Structures are given as C-alpha cells and as structure tokens.
Structure 1
Amino acid sequence: MASNGFDFSPGAQIPLQGSGGAAVATNALASAAYRDSPVEEILKANSEWHKSDVKKGRSDYFKPNLGEAFARAVQERMLGGARKDLIQSFGTDPQTVVEHCLSANSLRKARDTRLTAVTVLFGFLFLPGMLLWVIVFWLRDSFAKTKDRLLTILGNSLLPLVGIGIVFLMIRLPLTGLLGLYLRAMFVAPVIGWYIAKRIAEKSAQDMRARWEGLLSGGGVTAKIPETVPKNPSETAREALRQGLEKLSAEQQSNSVFYAGPKGILGMGTRWGSWHLAEDLVPKEPGKEIHQFRSWDVIRVIHDQLKLLERGPLNTGGFPTPSVNHWIVTPIGENADAVTRPQGEDVATYQIKPHEIQRICNHQQFGGGNRHYLGVQFTLWDGQLVITMMITVTVLYETLRIEVTGHALGPVHSLFTSKPAAKTRTVNKTVRFWETRDITLSLVDAHEVTRLALRAPFTWYPPLLDHLGGKIALPEPFGLRHAWAEKPWRHRFMADDAMRAATPVLRVVHNAAIKVLEEHGVDTERFNSRSSVLSGLVQQPTPGKADLYDA
C-alpha cells in the first residue's frame, strides 16, 4: 500500500463529503446486501447511462440471490487488492454501504459453515441417496417450469410418490447388517439433513429480512465487522481490510472528478442547464489600462460569497449549508470503462494540492489538460437529491467568460427503497369455497433450502461458485451512488429544488465577479446588462440536456 503514496497512519478525522443528512440513500443501497430477491431484479435499476449485468452460471441450484451477489460484487469492487479507481458517491457514505456488505457476507459465511456441516454429515456421507433426492427436486422444478398441465401435476406429485416408493423399498429391502442399515439410512439421512438445513436457512432469512426492514425504517441497524480490527501485527488480512476501508474514505474525499460527455460529471449527474456570461475587458477610464488580475482572483471572491448562501435577508429556511469546493475535472470518453486519478508530487491521498489547483485555474483554459471548476453542492432529501452548480472562469485575449452549469443527481432507484413483503398465497376457503384468503408461507421454500445446502460447501472458493452459479457485473466506471440513480425530474419537488437553486447561485457568482472587475478598473456596464439578461433566461420552466448540444 505504501507504493501508492497513501498514508494510513492515524490523523485528524475529516467528515465525509455528502455523509451528513444522507441516511436514506445510504441505507437504501446498504439494504441490498440483505435482500433475498432474485438476482435479476438488479436489472430493473439500470438507467440510460449505467447498466448492471447478470452473468449466468451452470445451474440454478448454485445461483446467488440479489443480496448474495450484490454484497460480494460490491466488496470485491471497492476493497479488492487490484481494484480500479472509483467514482465518488455524493449524497451517500460508501463506507457504510461496504461495511453492511461485509456484515452480510459474514452472516452468510456463518450460516454456510453450519449448512456445510449438515451437508457433509447428512449428504456427502450418504452420497447416492443425496443425489437421488437432488435429481427428484430437479425434475420437480423442471416440470413446474413447463406449460404442460400434465407435467406440472406430475411434478407436484413427484415428491410424495418418491417418498412412498422409498418407504416401501426400505420395508421390503432384503439386505441386513451394516450394508442394509447404510442403504436404509442413505434414503433417510438426506431428508433429516434437509429439515435441519431448513431451520438454519429460515432463521438466517428472518435475521436478514429484519436488517433489511430496519435499514429502510431508520431503525439504526449497525454493521458488525470485527474482522476489520487487527488484534496483532500478524493478522495481515484484517490489516489489509482496514486499510481498504481507509483508502475508500480517502478516495471519497478526492477533489478530482471526470467528465464523460453526455453522461455528465460522473457522480454528479448530467448537465441539465448552462449559462454563459462573456464580455470584453474594457477599461473604465479611456486611455488607462485595467489593473492586472487572474482567473483565480475572481474565483476566490466567488468562493467566499458562495459560502454565505445560507444567510438570507428573511427567516424562511432557505438554503442549507452548502459544500463549496474546488474541483479538477478530467475529460474521458463517453464509453470509457475505467478512470485514472491524477498522480504525482502535486497529489496527496487523492487530493490535488492547492498550488496545483491555482495553476490549473490560471493557465489551463484552452487546449489539452484538466480544467478547474468551483462547485457549490447541496445534499437534499436525506441524500436522495444532490444538486451541484459548477462555475468556471476563463480569460482568452480580452474576453472574460464566466460559465455556470447545473448538475442534478436524482434519487436512488425505487428497487432499493422497497421493504420486504411477507410471502403469501391466495387459496379458497374450506367452507365458503367461493371466497379466498391469503396464507403466509415460509420464507424459504424447498428449492431455496436445497440451493443453500448445495451452495454452502463451495463458498470457501468463490471463483468456483461464480462459475457454477453466476454473479453480478457492475457498471463501469463504478460508483455506488450514480450507478443506480433515477432522474430527479419525475419528482415534482426535487425538480423544483434543482431549478430554484440556479437563480440565486447565478446572481451571487455574477455579483462577485463584477465586484472584482470594478476593483480592477474594468468597465462593467456590459457585464451588468448581460447578467440581467441571464437572470431572466435562468428562469426557464424546464431543464434540458445541455451536453447533447441538440439545440
């Protein structure tokens, strides 16, 4: 770890960007680690720009559910030793989500250890009998998937028929002694093991669902991951895991972001609005030159004024405390599958140093290279809405250009905010057969018990399990928040908040810039006129797709 220049020594604890007031979005994403839904459900959360995929395996009996696949995929992607750079998760605390994935994996590992013991004791020791019952379950499930009514009826009656046949065979079996006893136990032991496995699986499912429900209800469910606390220097795995979490937190704090064309700034959402003020720098007094200044001088004053956005003349609530930061934006391809953060002596723990930020702001305004933006960010609706207004100042020849763009990251997809529902089935009443009633089913059915019992012995080597059952392929470049975000425009109040933020931010930026120009002897009449025009244009009623350039 030392090779990447990251210092893991204890230091001052800095609050995570976007972690405050982001409980809803964070808990929604964390709840996916405990879900028992089909893994294909993740495909419903695919957006226009970011698409997850499900890699299919060899057999449904080794196929993971959504929680198993999600927790493992997120843990590997965000903590793996060879992982690629991540996109910041604005509006959420990614470390909390990863910790819940670790906790869920730990709970499943404990469950699978018990199920492995049951499978070995009651299954592998009586392998012929276990294979017979597995084949019976496979035939029953196969018949149930067909549209042929006769095959469906046969599948439903297969287990009872086989059970009756085995009882008859055990009674009439001519063999005695140890061989006869083993042959009889060969048919019975897997059934006993199946019922024991069912109790283990049912208890685990109840625990997982309680955590899923607790996270979405704000019940304060905490992730229990004692393996992240090394007890002695020889525990390298725990130390590596602790360092991985520290590295994740540091990357979340990075002031480097990536612009992916129509996808917008990754992690901040697409650019829905853009306003430009560009006028010539003319001296206020004819015959005199303007006092020299740089883009950084203008940006610094704008920065100070944006910090005061929460202070208004009226006590109406207004803006919450904004997060105002300097960003270095790197352009990447629209379909790029990876990002690379800046490195070198001007970068420390993913943070580009202030002197390099100032240099980029003043000199890298035309041609190749990264660009500087000043961003003011509001995290609203408990992290479900992230509004970012980005400001850049450029000076080319005698023209000063101030550009303000609006980015909006919408709520986490509704898939992640759905609470667990009891498994029920509608049946006819016994006496009043023309009426129906709902009966509550067990959380784990016969297929699920069989799946868990067969998967358990293979969990010690996850790559083999991925080959047999499949896994989730996460969208790249990956960031927890933007990968599964919906558009905010379908939510009336969120859309209103995004558009309301534009006008006051734009006016603060223009007023601060004009103040600097006046102090340096620039004629601001045309700047004031243009600013008034933009103040009217910013009040257009609907957002657009500024990055498509389809006007």
Structure 2
Amino acid sequence: MGAAVTIGSFGPGAQVPLQGSDAQTAATAALASVAYRDSPVEEILKANNDLHKSTVKPGKWQKLFRPDLGEAFSRAVQVRMLGGARKPLIQSFGADPQPVVEHCLAATGIRKQRDVKLTLVTLVFGVLFLPGLLLWLGVIQLRRLAAGSENKRTSAIGTALMIAAGFIALLFLLKLPFDGVLPNYLRAMLVAPVAGWFLARRICENTAQVLRERWTALLSGGGIGAAVPQAVPKDPTEKTAEELRLNLQKLTAEQQSNIVFYAGPKGILGMGTRWGSWALAEELVPREGKEIHDFRAWDVVRQIHTELTLLERGSLKTGFPKPTVRHWIVSPVGEGADEVARPEGENIVAFQVKPHEIQRICNDQQFGAGNRHYLGVQFTLWDGQLVLTMMVTVTSLHRTLRVEVTGHALGPVHGLFTTKPAAKTKEVSKTVRFWETKEIKLPLTDTDDVVRQAVRAPLTWFPPVLDFLGGKLVLPEPFGLRHPWASPPWKNRFMADDAIRAATPVLRAVHAATIRVLDDHNVDTERFTNRSLVLSGGVQEAGPRKADVYDA
C-alpha cells in the first residue's frame, strides 16, 4: 500500500460515476451471483484456467461442516478484499468489484438470519434433548457413509438403517411406561430432534428460495441491489460499520489505481496475456538542410494520447465505442509471485502515481531496472465480458526511436458464472399408466443439507472455526475478482474478430501521431513512413499468438 494512503483519506463525499461502469453489468452480475449459490464448493474448480487456479482446502470434519459454494465464496471474498491486513489487489477490468463484495455481504446477512433461527431450533429441540440429537446424527452420518459407497448393497444398508432407526423410535414411544419423568424425557428425546428437523427444513427451504431468486435476478438483468445495512453507520460510535464503509471506499480507490503488474507469461495481471506486438523502430535522421529540434518521449506520448481519444470519431456512422485512454505505470513481478507490492512514496496518492512522476518515468526509465510507462487505450465490450487493451510504449535509445504497440485481451468469465439455477426434479412412473413417466419437483434442501446447515448455524459467529472444521475456498494469488476466471476470447468468433479488428485503427492512429511529432521536429520521416506502411499491411492479417512466451 502507498505510504501516503491512509484509511482516513477515503472519507465521505460525492461519488463520481466511474467511466465505463455502465458497460460492465454482465460480468459484475455473473461474479456477484456466486454469493447466492447452493451448489457444491468444488464446482468453482471447473472455472480454473492454466494461469490462475483456485483450490478447496478440506476441513477436519468436512462431511458434516462443509460449506456450499455461496458460503465459501462469500467468506473468501470478504476476507481477501476487506480484511485489515489484506494483500494488494489486482484491478478487475470489465467488472466493478464493490457491488460483488456488497452482494457477498448481503448473502452472508441472509444466511445469518437463517442461522439465528436454526440456532434457536437447535437449542430448543437439540441441546435440551442432546442424547437423542446425537443418536440421530450418528444414524444420519452412518447413512451418509453408506450412501456414498459404490457398493449398491452397502448403499441399501444405509437406507434400511434409517427405516430401522424410525421403527426403534416408534417402539420406544409405545412400549415405555407413561408415568414418570424419565420415560417421558426418553420419548421427547427421540421425537424432539425429528420435530426440530421439520422446522429446520422449512427455514432452510425458505432461505434457499430467497437466495435462488436473487441468483436468478442478477443473471436476468433485473438490476437487483445488495442491501448492506451494516456498512451504513448510524452514529459516530459504530466503529465496525464505519470501518466497513471505509474499506469499501478503499476497495474502489484501489480499483482505480494507475499501477499494473507484468507477470511474464501471465501478461499484465487483470488485462490478460499479450496476443500481438508491432514495433516501429527507426533511426532519427534530420531532414536535409535542417537540424533536429530536441524532443523527449513524453512529447510523442502526449500527441499519441490526443490522437487515441479521437478514435470514436470518423466519417462513418458506425465505429468504435468511446475508449478509455489512460497512462499506466507497469511494475514487473515474477511469474510465480503470490503477491504484488504497490510502489510507495510521496509520489503516490490514493493508489495513483502523480502526473509529474508519470512524465518522469516516461522520459527517464526506459532502460534497466525500474517501472515503465505505457499509454493504454481500453475498450470494454459485451457488457464487460470482453476487455481489449492496446498498450503503447515509446523509448529513445541513442539515435533510435521505438514506438511499440501491444494487444492484450481479457475474455468472458467462465460459463459456470452465467448459469442460472435449475429446479431440482426427479423422474418417476405415473400411478396408473406406470409405463409412462413424469417429473416431480423436489425440495431445494435435502435431509443431509438441512443437517449440515443446522450444525453449522451455532458456529456462524466463529468463521475461523467453521473454516477449520468444514474447509474453505482458497483464492488464486495475486488476486483480482475478474482475471482468475476469465476464459480465452478466441473461442468466440465475434469476440476474436473484435480483438483483431481493434488493432488496425489503433496502430495507424499511433503511427500518424508519431510521424506528426517527428515532422514538427525536423526529422526525416521517410523510413518511419515506410515501416509504418509495412506494419499497417501486416496488421490486416493479424492473428492471436502467445507474444509473452519467448522460444529461447
């Protein structure tokens, strides 16, 4: 974190809409929907790619205390993005991380309301009749072990075990004498956990319906917002709410940082790998009878910046959407680095490198150690599912000016994140026409899941204990919400076309601005013009390749 940045610097004030945020709804909603999902946590492993892999750390009693995907994702994201001692984050290009985190907080709040009710049910129908609860839990655990066996005979034994347990309980109710405290307690000991289970199932079913409605609304474009009342302090004494509010603002500020990290074959973290590179490098020769007027790399970059902001304008009615043109400071990190370190010092304010420092890096840090300057033009397309970034760097060594343009592409989030909830159904034979079948709807929560949620409920206020007992989701590092689950854009024909088509006009705009500056400073531009024409012809047949992987 920058030394000049303190939590207090993110105080209340006017909230300025972020440029391009209206085009990031699909990716943001897809990521936020994970917080409401009730599928197994291992499902998210399907979204792993070759460069970034999340893992599931097993718990000591995973069978009984395991989290589902929504619980594990919400917990992991909150700790990673709002924790007091968290590592720096990678920007989520094409998505807005704050709404995702807010939905994780909202989903956790819904589950806590459920857990309060389940805890009361557990206390009344479980703890007061603890021997009966332990007996039923033992029977359910044995049934679960038997049901998970590949041996059909063993699986059948598990079902028979539940039937036998119910029969024995019925015998206890009928055969015990009806007088005395102990016989009545023994009866209640066997009945109370079953009654509590029915209540718990109703609570779990209602909550599951609410969570699935939110999951569906997010992916249907309903624009459902996340209610996070704990992030709105009602008075100055509410330190927890104030700290959460400031952490959310700090998250947004870090998202707007102009510092990115180059991780070798992984490309620029958050922007994707480099798929193409075009270099214009020629000797600076004065025009005949003239002397070159001194200029620096920043003079060229400034003219390129002006030219790139005009990309959306043209003689045709159709054309580019409004691009985001921005100066970036790129810091190198190792391919296998598990964290990044943001530059510190007086030239960093609110995660932003000051303009005068950007200009100094552009002019002076072109060779050897240190950060580098890049000028980027970024297009956020397909509702945030495709992020195209063209990066321009200008270097001058001895009498050679080099203007390099590289293309980076971040593809759509994995299809897992855009999957809507499916109703749980079962195919059964009809009563009369037994040779025909029909589908019947099943409850959203089965017996095992009700038990799982009930035993986890009292420990909701001790998340580290739940992580130890049930396991947790471990996010890939360095972490940002968008890039770990991005799929290659080249599998979608239209996305691939958009990436390839964007290269040509950007490259020509960069070359036009460069040659204009050289003309103004009495440089003979013949070589530059010829090389530009060669590159302009070659880029028309550009195809994606692994430009960050060198065969050396």
Report the TM-score, using the length of structure 1 for normalisation. Answer: 0.98
Distance 1:94 1:386 in 2: 15
Partner residue of 1:425?
426
Say if 1:17 and 1:90, in contact at 8 Å, map to a contact too: no
What letter corresponds to residue 244 of structure 1 in structure 2? N
Distance 2:16 2:327 in 1: 17
Instruction: Say whether the 8 Å CA contact 2:35–2:71 is kept in structure 1.
Output: yes
Q: What per-residue deviation string (whole Å, max 9, x for no partner) do you get for residues 446-482 of structure 1?
A: 0111111111011110111001000000000000000
Instruction: Indicate yes or no: 2:114 matched with 1:83.
Output: no
- The separation in 2 between residues aligned to 1:17 and 1:114, in whole angstroms, is 43
The question of 1:179 aligning with 2:179 is answered no
Question: Are 1:269 and 2:262 an aligned pair?
Answer: no
Q: 1:237 aligns with which of 233, 236, 240?
A: 240
Q: Distance in 1 between matches of 2:208 and 2:102?
A: 19
Pairwise CA distance, 1:285: 1.9
For the 8 Å contact 2:31–2:100, the answer to whether it is kept is yes
The answer as to whether partners of 1:5 and 1:348 remain within 8 angstroms in 2 is no
Q: Is the 8 A contact 2:118 2:454 kept in 1?
A: yes
The amino acid across from 1:181 in the alignment is N
CA contact (8 A) 2:95 2:384 kept: yes
Q: 1:353 to 1:73 in 2, by over 3 A?
A: same
Residue among 307, 314, 317 paired with 1:315: 317
In structure 2, what residue type is equivalent to 1:435? E
Q: Aligned with 1:405: secondary structure?
A: strand
Q: Which amino acid aligns with 2:494?
A: F
Deviation at 1:175, TM superposition (A): 7.0
Task: Verify: 1:209 aligned to 2:224, yes or no.
Answer: no
Native 8 Å contact 2:4 2:344 kept in 1: no
2:4–2:349 Cα contact (<8 Å) kept: no
What is the rounded CA distance, in whole Å, between the counterparts of 2:92 and 2:532 in structure 1? 34
Matched, 1:228 2:231: yes
How far apart are 1:3 and its partner, in Å? 7.3
SS at match of 2:482: helix
Task: State the SS of the aligned residue for 1:464.
Answer: helix
Q: Deviations over 1:222-253 (max 9, x none)?
A: 10001101111111100110010010000000
Does the aligned pair in 2 maintain the 1:34–1:208 contact within 8 Å? Answer: yes
Tell me if the contact between 2:4 and 2:346 (Cα under 8 Å) persists in the aligned partners: no
Deviation at 1:522, TM superposition (A): 0.1
Counterpart of 1:276 in structure 2: which amino acid?
A: A
1:385–1:494 Cα contact (<8 Å) kept: yes
After superposition, residues 401-416 of structure 1 pair within 5 angstroms as 401-416=402-417
Q: What's the CA shift for 1:425? A: 1.2
Could you tell me which amino acid in structure 2 is paired with residue 65 of structure 1? D
Counterpart residue number, 1:32: 34
Q: Does the aligned pair in 2 maintain the 1:427–1:436 contact within 8 Å? A: yes
Question: Are the structure 2 counterparts of residues 511 and 3 from structure 1 closer, same or farther at C-alpha, using a change threshold of 3 Å?
Answer: closer
* Residue 347 of structure 1, CA deviation: 0.6
Whether contact under 8 Å (1:58, 1:469) holds in the other structure is yes
Deviation at 1:174, TM superposition (A): 3.9
Q: 1:171: Cα distance to partner?
A: 1.5
Determine if contact 1:16/1:93 at 8 Å carries over to the other structure. no
Q: Give the C-alpha shift of residue 539 in structure 1.
A: 2.0
1:176 offset after TM fit, Å?
Answer: 3.0
Contact 1:230 1:238 in 2 (8 A): yes
Deviations 1:189-218 (A, max 9, x none): 000100000000000000000000000001
How do 1:22-421 residues align onto structure 2 when only pairs under 5 Å count?
Answer: 22-59=24-61, 60-174=63-177, 176-286=179-289, 288-316=290-318, 318-421=319-422
Q: Quick one: distance in 2 between partners of 1:211 and 1:11?
A: 30
CA contact (8 A) 1:278 1:402 kept: yes
What secondary structure does 2:18 align onto? Answer: coil
* Cα pair 1:75 1:101 within 8 Å, conserved: yes
How far off its partner does 1:18 sit?
Answer: 4.5
SS of the residue aligned with 1:437? strand
Supply the distance in 1 between the matched residues of 2:19 and 2:411 (Cα, whole angstroms): 17
- d(CA) in 2 for partners of 1:440 and 1:312? 56
Structure 1 residues 18 and 333: alpha-carbon distance in aligned structure 2, compared to 1, 3 A threshold: farther
Shift of 1:58: 2.1
Identity of aligned residues (%): 66
2: CA distance, partners of 1:368 / 1:192: 70
Distance, in Å, in 2 between the alignment partners of 1:228 and 1:323 is 31
SS in 2 for 1:538: helix
- Partner Cα distance (2:522, 2:230) in 1: 63
Deviation at 1:10, TM superposition (A): 3.1
Which residue does 2:519 correspond to in 1? 518
Q: Tell me: CA distance 1:292–1:338, structure 2 relative to 1, closer, same or farther (3 Å).
A: same
Deviations 1:260-314 (A, max 9, x none): 000000000000000000000000124x420000000000000011000000111
Distance 1:3 1:268 in 2: 26
User: In the TM superposition, what are the counterparts of 1:480-519 in structure 2 within 5 Å?
Assistant: 480-519=481-520
Q: 2:369 corresponds to which letter in structure 1?
A: G
SS of 1:123's partner is helix
1-structure distance, mates of 2:165, 2:19: 60
Name whichever of 18-27 and 247-256 sits farther off.
18-27
Q: Residue 18 of structure 1 contacts residue 383 of structure 1 at CA under 8 Å; is this kept in 2?
A: no
**Does the Cα contact within 8 Å between 1:17 and 1:253 map onto a contact in 2?**
no
Deviation at 1:156, TM superposition (A): 1.7
Distance apart, 1:12 and its partner CA: 4.5
What stretches of structure 1 of length at least 5 have no aligned partner? Answer: none
Aligned residue for 1:51, secondary structure, equals: coil
Cα distance between partner residues in 2 of 1:483 and 1:88: 11
Q: Residue by residue, what CA displacement relative to the aligned partner does 1:478-527 show, whole Å, maximum 9, x if unpaired?
A: 00000110000000000000000000000000000000000000000000
Aligned-pair CA distance for 1:437: 1.8
The total of aligned residue pairs comes to 549
In 1, the alpha carbon distance for the partners of 2:346 and 2:464 equals 38
Q: What is the CA–CA distance in structure 2 between the aligned matches of 1:345 and 1:49, rounded to whole Å?
A: 34
Alpha-carbon distance between aligned partners in 2 of 1:212 and 1:117, rounded to the nearest angstrom: 27
Between the aligned partners of 1:443 and 1:174, the Cα distance in structure 2 is: 40
TM-superposed CA distance for 1:420, in Å, is 0.1
Report deviation, 1:541.
Answer: 4.6
The offset of 1:61, in angstroms, is 1.4
Instruction: Give the aligned residue type for 1:100.
Output: H
Q: 1:434 to 1:175 in 2, by over 3 A?
A: closer
Q: Which piece of structure 1 moves more, 231-240 or 495-504?
A: 231-240
TM-score (norm 2): 0.98
Q: In the aligned structure 2, how far is the partner of 1:358 from the partner of 1:211? A: 47
Residue type at the aligned position of 1:51: K
**What one-letter code is carried by the residue in structure 2 that aligns with 1:262?**
P
Rounded Cα–Cα distance in structure 1 between residues aligned with 2:223 and 2:369: 48
Report the 3-state secondary structure (helix = DSSP H, G, I; strand = E; otherwise coil) of the residue aligned with 1:292. Answer: coil
Aligned pairs (5 A) from 1:430-449: 430-449=431-450
Q: Contact 2:328–2:375 (CA<8 Å) still a contact in 1?
A: yes
